Structure formats: C-alpha cells, structure tokens
A and B are shown apart, each in its own frame.
Chain A
Amino acid sequence: MAALTTGFYAASKGGAGDPTAGGSSGGKCSFRRKSPAPGSGGGVRWRSIAGTRPSVRNGQLLVSAGLPALDQLLGGGLAVGTLLLIEEDKYNIYSNLLFKYFLAEGIVCGHTLLLASAKEDPDDILQELPEPLHDDKYKKELDEVSSHKSQGELDISMKIAWRYQNLPKMEQDGPGSSSRFGHYYDVSKRMSQEMIHSVKCHRFFLPEEITSLPNVESCALTHGYTKLLHSIQRIISEEGFNGSCPQKKQKNILRIGIQSLGSPLWGDDICCADTPEHLHSLTKFLYVLRGLLRMSLSTCIITVPSHLIQNKAITARIRNLSDTVVGLESFLGGEKEANSLYKDFHGLIHIHQIPRLNSLIGDVSDMKDLAFKLQRKVFTIERLHLPPDLSDTVSRSSKRDLVESAKQLSLGCSVMAGGKEHLDF
C-alpha cells in the first residue's frame, strides 16, 4: 500500500515508485496516490514505514506528535515534511514536555532522531524521556484520576444537565485502538536505557560545534544556525532520507528536535533587543529548514521563546514560515493562577495554525478553547469548561472577572479565520 509524502520521490510514468539516485535537482517531483486496491501492491514497492499512517482525508503521510490528544487536534498527526512550531510558555516547562513526547514517540516507533540544543547536552535530554505506558496501565491511570475527583463530589451523575453527561471531554481514540499510531507515556518514570539506545540518535550541541570557524557558505545567518543547517543536510543526505540511497529497502523517518531556537544561546539577539541586528537570521534559517524538510522524509519540532521576542513582526513571520503552530500559555506565576476559573488546569493551549498541504483545506478541529493539565503521570488536553459560579457572594465584580477571562479565551481561537473584535454574548 502506498502512502503520500509531501512529495519528492520522482515518479516514472505509471510504473514503480523507485526514487532516482542522487536526489537530482532536475527530478520531477511527484508521489504516489493511495492505490485503489490497497492490498494489490502492483508496481509500487513501498513498504509502509513504522510509526506512520496515511491521513484519512488526502492520504498524506502522518507521524504522531507523541500525544494522541494533540494528534487529534492537528488533524490526525504531523505530516511528514513539515515543521511543528511550539511557542514556549513562560518558564519552558510544558513546551519542554511536548518536546520530549515527540522524541519519545520517535524512539518507540524506531525512527532516527536528531537532537539539537544550545543549552542542554542532548544526551541529558535523552535520559529524561518519559517511559511508554502499556494499554492496561493507561486505563488504570485514567480510572485513578477520575476516582480522585469523584471523592470530593457528592453527585457524580448530573441531575439537571443530564444530557451533557454523555458528552465526551475530548474526542478520544483510546489506547486500545487498532492502529498503533500514538502512544501514551508516563511522565513520572524514565525511559529505559536499552530502549534509548535501540535507535540511532544524532546530536548537535552548540558549544561543541561552534569552536571552528565556518568555512562553508553562510548567507548572512548566524554561525550557530549555519552549522546546524549543514549538520541537518549532511545527515539527511548521508543516511538517505531524501531518496539518495535507493539500495536501502527499509525507509525510515528522521525526527529533528531543536530546542529554544531564537534564544540568545544560539547567538541570536531577537529576544534581547527591540531592533535586533540579526533581524532575518531566524527567518532565513526557517526557510532553508522548510526546504530541507520538504525534500526528505523528516519532521521537525522546534520550540521558540516567542514571549521574549519584542518585535511582533518577527513572531508573525516565524508563524508564516512554519506549518503547524501550537502556543502554550501556562498559568504559573500569572494573574490567572489565582483565578478560580482555571483552578482545574495548568494552562491554555492554542492551535494557531494548521497546514493546508496538497489540498485547498486543512483539518481543523472544532474545539477552540483548550486547556491542558499535567497530572502526576499524564499530560491531558481538554476542552476548557467554566465551572459554575458557586461563590457565596455572586457579586458584580466577580462577574466582570469572568467576562474578562472569557474574553481572553476566544481571542486565541480561529485557525481558519480570526475576527478583530470580540462580541461578548
């Protein structure tokens, strides 16, 4: 059964889908449609790659982001050849967790990893990955969590709003689903050493690589970015992720993870100054990275501390150059922490952008107001629900607070369209 990628494998006219050698620049780029008889395998010798599945809508090849709830929101998963941008929350706690989920998923599926960081040694990051949960364990976790909650409440079943009782909190596949696509992880435990070493992991630690001066084409990018791009390109072409080694039968996905891109540790000053000197360095880097990703079987996750970037133009440009954009806003230390509205959750999650690849329309989820919470073992994303106002003094001031907070919610919505004003009714 053939699956679609974002397209770089050269096609011969109606024949086998063998990629041409050398990844030549003059090659006609095309790819296979899902063949009408999936079991026939006629003419296309392309075994499906572990850990991927074609999208139900247009056959695009997808990989899991490590968090099945996030996969649902992103239209089934991350498309191969695209870039996932995570806008970090204030103290980089939860975005780091999403980053680790992505890498852990790569290890469980057997993909090759490339880990780049400027502040932490990649081996240390690998040691801290969460352990995958087995199906029955996850079900036990969920039951534990819900039983904790119901101890505090007298009524579990709703008396008045009983119709809402059956409404799902999130559309969930559940861990027992037939496709082994997404996995669940236990954040309180570490992944075992033999599992980590079972996949090939490339590392890029900036303080090690930056010792030598660049003797390669730099195109006015900062030193760190240039080195990283060359390193990524070298791995992609050497290991054949762009189809340059046709003799390799088993294709694999390269998962690239870059931590805290744009921070001063990378030599970039967009987070420090209002009119930075390296105004275009990060955007140029993202553009070349996009080009590399589109031409290979790889997916990339980057985290950017956007809350530190003063120049809003740069944030907008970074978003336009990425395919999928997810923003995290944690309540830690902010004024919202004390707000009773949000006492069940740890932060809000905004899906700012979803790519429209190979079609006119993208897979947008209907749920726009999403919040996350990190329980003892699992990270869940749920629809944000406002609790009933059960305070003794239902005063006017608390109502105003509610309205203010509700205003913040729907401003973060709208992947398809965004409105300028908020109509609060």
Chain B
Amino acid sequence: MFPELNNLLNVSPEKPEQGTFTLLCNNKTDGSFLVHHFLSFYLKANCKVCFVALLQSFSHYNIVGQKLGVNLIAARDRGQLVFLEGLKSTVEILFGSEEQPNTLKFFRESDTDLKSLFELVHKALTPSGDGDAASWKFPVLLVDDLSVLLSLGVRAVAVLDFIQSCRATVCWQLKGNVVALVHDSDKTEDEENALLMNALGHQSSLILRAEGLLTGFCKDVHGQLKILWRGLQQPKAEQTRSLIYQYKIQDKNVTFFAKGLSPAVL
C-alpha cells in the first residue's frame, strides 16, 4: 500500500472503512497500481480478501506484493486470501477434462450470467462457522478487471447483476467492501464499457480515476488521479467532494503531489 494514498483517502489499515464499494477507473493509462495498493492495504488490515484476477497471473501480484510488503503465498496458505486466477481456469476449461468444476462457465457459452462466479465469491467470503474465520476483520472482494468480462462475451447487464449481488452480500450482509477496476472509455468507442462504468459510478461511494495528463507524456509525472467521494450512506445529502492529484510511480512506491508541484519542477 502507498502511505501517501492512505493519507489522501483518510484511511489507515488500523481502522478501514466498511460497507463501501470503491470503483477504480483508468483512462488511457494503466491503473493497476491502484489494484496493488488495495490488495496490500486490505491484507495488512487483516481482512479476508477474495481476489478475482482475470488479467494477470498469481506470480505477478505476488512479486509486486512483496515489494509492497505483503506475502501473497503466506496469505493464501493461512486462508486470508482466496485467489481466483482467471487465466489458469480458462485454460483448464478449454483443455482440461470435463469433471473440472467450472466457475468460469460463462466462457463456454455466450449470453450467460455470472452466477457461478458469484457463488464462488459467496462461498469464499461467507464465514464458515469454524473458529479461525472469525479472526479476520471483514471480507473484501477485489476484482481486476471487469472490462475483460465484456471481452469474453458477457453482457454488461450480466456484469452489473453480478456486482449488485456481490454488493448485497459483501457490503450489506457481511459488512465488507468491494473494489473493482473498470477501463474508462468514450461512449463512441466502446458503448458497453461506458454503460458499465456509468452504472457502477452511480453505485459507488468512492471513485478513483487514473488518467493521463492532458498535455501528453511526461517522464516525471505519470498521470493524474481524481478522487471522488460520494456520500451515499449519509442520511443527509452530503456534497460530493473531489480532489485531483498527480502521481509518479516508482519501483516500490507511488508519490502523490498537487497539480503542477512535481518535485522535478520545483
């Protein structure tokens, strides 16, 4: 996790917020550093994490996690992390034997829903009643990345249904958090993706949008992060707050600074 981002978001691993849905978007740049941040943050906060990783392999997250101070292998062994590796499961479905439990059943046929995926998440995060499950703070679902599901033939409505069920179970019933990454795209480019992003944006309480700079490529400033708080749970309609910071990604950390105040310029 990046300490500066924790300060910006006003959270810390000791007292994280509960019952929230955080949406991560990236527009013309790579927002995966946010996924790594939240993964290490919730593991350090002693929460039970179910990570649906559709785009990269386990070892990729493990190596980056080691740089950020968490050990994914150990977390998986002690039951804190449930890791669903999309790439591996899909290869098994296509080339493996028929008896494999097909959690990615949607890959076989088009126009199906994500019910099997939801059942996996539900089973992973619901406390099973034995003693050690009670030692984690609260469950967290992390999805990287929802736009890939659209490429695999799932319709946007099915993805929205999946997120809705996950939110109902994880956020409301189990008092946990859901974090998901979506690619941002114009309506003219990818309509289904834009639909997905808009709908999820309305449901979320915190939106982190990583964008490129308006002026193009820069070696010292890698992009701009827009943080948008939406007061959904408050009884009175709170003003949505938004902040913009620019960031530079380094090997083990990401530094954030106010617009135009990059250390390279000062």
Contacts and interface: CB of A to CB of B under 8 A. Distances in A.
Given A360-B250, A368-B217, A292 B91 contact: yes
Contact of A414 (B57, B108, B151, B212): B212
B90 A287 contact: yes
B28 A418 contact: yes
Given A295-B88, A356-B32, A358-B60, A313 B191 contact: yes
A283 B151 contact: yes
Nearest to A368: B217
- Summarize B's interface: helix, strand, loop or mixed: mixed
Interface string B15-40: 00000000000001110110010000
A287 B59 contact: no
Main secondary structure of the interface of A (DSSP, over half): loop
B151 A287 contact: yes
B94 A288 contact: yes
Contacts of A288: 90-91, 94
Contacts of A362: 30
Nearest to B145: A320
Contact of A291 (B91, B151, B211): B91
A366 B220 CA distance: 11
Interface in A264-295: 279-280, 283-284, 287-288, 290-292, 294-295
A423 interface: yes
Contacts of B202: none
A69 B185 CA distance: 32
Nearest to A417: B212
Which of the four size classes fits the interface of chain B?
35 or more
B219 interface: yes
Contacts of B62: 7, 29-30
Contacts, number: 166
Contacts of A235: none
Nearest to B252: A360
Contacts of A295: 57, 87-88, 91
Interface in A302-319: 312-313, 316-317
Given A313-B191, A313-B192, A421-B214, A220 B109 contact: yes
Interface string B216-238: 11110011100000000000000
B173 interface: no
A201 interface: no
Contacts of B214: 419-421
A280 B151 contact: yes
A358 B63 contact: yes
Contacts of A279: 153
A313 B107 contact: no
A219 to B, nearest CB: 5
Interface in A391-425: 410, 413-423
A379 interface: no
Contact of B67 (A290, A294, A316, A359): A359
A7 B29 contact: no
A8 interface: yes
Interface in B43-90: 56-60, 62-64, 67, 73, 86-88, 90
Interface in B102-157: 107-110, 147-148, 150-153
A229 interface: yes
A25 B102 CA distance: 14
B183 interface: yes
B188 interface: yes
B110 A220 contact: yes
Contacts of B32: 356
Nearest to A217: B94
B150 A416 contact: no
A229 B94 contact: yes
A312 B189 contact: yes
A417 B191 CA distance: 22
B204 interface: no
Given A284-B152, A294-B57, A320-B151, A416 B223 contact: yes
Given A7-B63, A364-B217, 4 more contacts: A294-B87, A359-B63, A359-B64, A414-B216
10 contacts: A7-B58, A8-B57, A288-B90, A313-B185, A313-B189, A321-B148, A360-B249, A360-B252, A418-B29, A421-B214
